Amino acid sequence: MKQQRWSDGLVFYTSMRGEAPMNAIWDIFCTAGSLYFLGLAEGSPLRGGLDISWGAELHKGELYGPIVANAYELESSVAQYPRIVVGTRVVDYLRVAIQQADESDPIDAINSQLASLCSHMIVTDLDGFHIIDYLGESFTKALFTEETSATLFTQAHSFVSSQFEEFSATKNSKLAIRYKWLLDYFQQRKSLHV
Confidence of residue 138 (pLDDT cuts 50, 70, 90): very high
Length of the chain as a residue count: 194
Assess whether pLDDT exceeds 90 at residue 3: no
User: Residue 17: exposed, middle, or buried by beta-carbon count in 10 A (0-12, 13-18, 19+)?
Assistant: exposed
pLDDT digits (tens, 9 = 90+) for 161-175: 999 999 999 999 999
Chain centroid offset of residue 169 CA = 29
* Cβ within 8 Å of residue 125, ≥6 positions away: 83, 131, 181, 185
What does pTM read for this prediction?
Answer: 0.88
Provide the mean pLDDT of the chain: 90
Percent of the chain with pLDDT over 70: 98
Nearest to 148 by CA among 37, 31, 43: 37
pLDDT digits (tens, 9 = 90+) for 33-58: 999 999 999 999 999 999 988 888 88
Within 13 A of 168's CA, how many CA atoms are on the CB side?
11
pLDDT digits (tens, 9 = 90+) for 63-101: 888 888 888 899 989 998 899 999 999 999 999 989 887
